[in-house]
Structure 1
Amino acid sequence: MTDTNMTETHLEMRWLPVTAPDGRTRMEAVWVEVGQPTAAHSHAA
């Protein structure tokens, strides 16, 4: 495995429940940095 420009960034996949407009709940996978709090909808400032 070769090093890329991602310096010491470790990601992990987490499954979050997302409620669809029709009221059904589905699971959505998101990638988060290890050590960061999980945010379902994170927007860069």
Structure 2
Amino acid sequence: MTNTNVTTHLEMRWLPVTGADGRTRMEAVWVEVGQPVAAHSHAA
């Protein structure tokens, strides 16, 4: 079933990762981001 009230897209985010040697490096990961569809309301 599809939820038509949410739109999603992919974003690349950089995360700090510390290795076994204690050094920190940056790794890119793709995450799916959902955004509620804007509700249209009209003031009376």
Question: TM-score, length-normalised on structure 1?
Answer: 0.54
Separation of aligned partners in 1, 2:7 and 2:14: 23
What do residues 3-34 of structure 1 show as CA deviations (whole Å, max 9, x unaligned)?
A: x2412311000000001013010101111114
Q: Which runs of 5+ in 2 are unaligned?
A: 37-44
Q: Which runs of 5+ in 1 are unaligned?
A: 36-45
Identical aligned residues as a percent: 12
4+ long deviations beyond 6 Å? none
- Structure having greater relative contact order (Cα 8 Å, sep ≥ 6): 2
Structure showing greater Rg: 2
If each structure's strand is expressed as a fraction of its own residues, which one has the higher value? Answer: 2
CA RMSD of aligned residues (A): 1.7
The total of aligned residue pairs comes to 32
